[in-house]
Amino acid sequence: MTGRSWYEDRDGDADAERVAERAARAERFGWIAIAGVSGLLVVAVLAAVVLAVVAVVAGYLLLTASRP
């Protein structure tokens, strides 16, 4: 043993840069996933609102058409 720690025996700067790059890629992927899921939720909510409006309008038309 030379008396140095395991961390000092390694090329710490290069390893730290690789770890930072991997973390940055993982963070970008995470934000892309969050944005994609959020976008899908917005589309689903809009579709539900449109279906609700169509159902209300159809119900109104059925009620008014059945009146004498």
Q: Is 3 left (phi over 0), alpha (psi -120 to 50) or beta?
A: left
Its pTM stands at 0.62
Task: Give the pLDDT of residue 67.
Answer: 79
pLDDT at 10 over 80: no
Sign for the CA dihedral angle at 9, 13, 18, 20 comes to positive
Locate the domains of the chain by residue range: 6-65
User: DSSP letter string over 31-49?
Assistant: HHHHHHHHHHHHHHHHHHH
Q: How would residue 24 be classed by pLDDT, with cut points 50, 70 and 90?
A: very high
Residues 25, 21: Cα–Cα separation, whole Å: 6
Name the CA radius of gyration of the chain, rounded: 29
pLDDT tens digits, 38-47: 999 999 999 9
Query: Please, which pLDDT band fits residue 13 given cuts at 50, 70 and 90?
Result: confident
